[in-house]
A and B are shown apart, each in its own frame.
Chain A
Amino acid sequence: MSTEARAGHFPAVDWDGGALPYRVGHRKLGMWLFIVSDSLTFSALLIGYSYLRASNVWPTPFPFYPSIVFASVMTFCLLSSSLTMVFGVSASSKGDKAKARKWILATIFFGAAFIVLHLIEWSHLIEQGMRPFYLPEKWVQVFTTTNGVPPSPLFGATFFTITGLHMFHVATGVIYLLVVAGRIKKLKHEDVEISGLYWHFVDLVWMFVFPLIYIMSVDMHHLLAAAGGH
């Protein structure tokens, strides 16, 4: 194309090839498109959960301890991991690969802590008898309405599906970051930044999972405790 058009910021030049219309590399654009599609996956799951919740009697069984305390500490871990990841990307942009690697390892630590805490939290619920397709006896007794309508057994299905898929994303992210930390000397800055995008996305999804799954299912009136413990 003519240099005239380029000088005049004629937009068609951007699409002629040899230029980056969005001023990001093709890999980074690819990661953004993946993030958009994965957001839709999680949105669909969360809206499916809300659909079931609005059309059923829904139990609200989570006690302050362990469920909410664990979930809050897990949220704190993910938020902190995002901060360390930003520091890592920032160091990488200044060409300080060794420092970037240290910050990425800190991110991996927080991510792994999230997974461990989440598995402990799952085991609390599984011990009580929560399964994907039925609820513990005690919960059914406590949350059955005065008209005799029992709470939906799909509570477990939605809980394990959504938190499980999120945990899978965190686990994938930890492996991804381990690879990035290991090969950081060979990678370009943009590749480090792309791994950061994925990690922040995992954090972002939890910002919706935490209030919708945990905060909305708090046993506010201590019904379960009153009925003889959890």
Chain B
Amino acid sequence: MNAHAHADEHFAGSNKLFISIWVWLVALTLIEIFLAYVTMPIHVMLTILIGLSVIKAALIMAYFMHLKFERLSLILTLVPMLVVCILLLFVFFPDSYRSIGLRYQFKQPQPVAPAPVEEP
């Protein structure tokens, strides 16, 4: 139980701070909904949306999940290996582009040659 005394430290962060984080999260969500109706290339939209989501995830982890107030060693144990493992999954994407090229030909259909006139 003595060992537990360390963990029972007070919970850092004021309610005002948490409310401001919540306001940020709601604002970023509203930006995402707005972006849904803006015309732009899909990869640009995807990049912006993932960027906003990573910011939101970081805010939740840092403040709501209290990681900002934990020991650096805990953060370094958990976060980098997770990021590396997720990035490793991206190795599949070249194959998905190869696969769509194999299955579908997104070209205009070849004009049908006129049927040869039968020689009498």
Residues of A in contact with B (beta carbons under 8 Å apart)? 18-25, 28-29, 32-33, 36, 39-40, 43-44, 47, 50-52, 54-57, 64, 68, 72, 75-76, 79-80, 82-83, 85-87, 89-90, 92-94, 145, 147, 149, 188-190, 193, 196-197, 200-201, 203-204, 207-208, 210-212, 214-216, 218, 220
Contact = CB atoms under 8 A, between A and B. Distances in A.
A21 B11 contact: no
A117 to B, nearest CB: 15
A86 B26 contact: no
A23 B89 contact: no
B11 to A, nearest CB: 3
Contacts of A215: 32-33, 35-36, 49
A215 B106 CA distance: 26
B64 A82 contact: yes
A23 B29 CA distance: 34
Nearest to B79: A36
B11 A90 contact: yes
Nearest to A86: B18
A188 B8 CA distance: 9
Given A82-B64, A86-B64, A207 B56 contact: yes
A79 B74 contact: no
A79 B29 contact: yes
Nearest to A209: B53
B74 A24 contact: yes
Contacts of A208: 53, 57
Contacts of B7: 20, 23-25, 28, 190
Contacts, number: 164
Contacts of B57: 204, 207-208
B65 A218 contact: no
A76 B30 CA distance: 10
B73 to A, nearest CB: 6
A22 B74 CA distance: 6
Given A87-B15, A215-B35, A36 B82 contact: yes
Contacts of A68: 33, 36
A149 B13 CA distance: 54
A139 to B, nearest CB: 18
A134 B4 CA distance: 54
Contacts of B106: 145, 147, 149
B10, B65, B86, B103 — which one has the most chain A CB atoms within 10 A of its CB?
A: B65
Contacts of A85: 64
Contacts of A189: 8, 11
A102 B74 CA distance: 31
Given A23-B74, A203-B60, A204-B56, 9 more contacts: A24-B70, A33-B78, A47-B86, A47-B89, A83-B19, A188-B8, A190-B7, A210-B32, A218-B36
Contacts of A82: 22, 60, 64
A51 B109 contact: no
Interface in B38-62: 39, 42, 45-46, 49-50, 52-53, 56-57, 60-61
Contacts of A56: 100
